[in-house]
Amino acid sequence: MQKVHIISLVVLLGLALAACSASTNPTPSAPAASTSGDTAPVGSDLTQTKEEASVTVTVTPLNLADPSAATLDFEVSLDTHSVDLAYNLMSIAILRSDAGEEVQPTKWNGPGGGGHHMSGTLSFPQMQDRGQSLTLILRGVANVPERAFEWNMGGSK
């Protein structure tokens, strides 16, 4: 009888771990290439992933190619199996252009911090001068001072 309980416990633990796991495909961490001097980034996948201190952060820009958009929006996902993700992305994120402009987020469309999985859309106000590149910085996730995600803008404003 004890053997049945142990087997049941192992099966339940395996199911719990499988439910908490996510299938991941490697994503490029290098900035996307641009084809001309006055266009936004091109390429089918602008997603970048950084994995440090047991937390995987994945960022996908949603509208960099639209200079008329009122906001610059990024899908942000944090995943872990060992750290509580109790972060307020509105206070730890910043968007910076290499032209010297820096903006704070104006909206987080996702759940509050806590747990092991967190994702949503982080919106920033449109910038006056995007410069040659934009960098989204997240500070202090799992005690990593900064995680920087950079996209080549090819000179767009």
* Position 48 in a domain: yes
Q: How many structural domains does the chain have?
A: 1
Residue span of the structural domain in which 106 resides: 36-152
- Which domain CATH number covers 65? 2.60.40
* Position 13 in a domain: no
* Position 109 in a domain: yes
| pTM across the whole model | 0.71
Contacts for 153 with CB less than 8 Å, ≥ 6 apart: 34, 40, 41, 64, 97, 130, 131, 132, 133, 134
* Position 10 in a domain: no
> What length does the chain have?
157
3-state secondary structure of 11: helix
* pLDDT tens digit sequence for 20-73: 444 333 333 333 433 333 444 544 479 999 999 999 999 999 999 888 899 999
Residue 145: CB atoms within 10 A of its CB come to 8
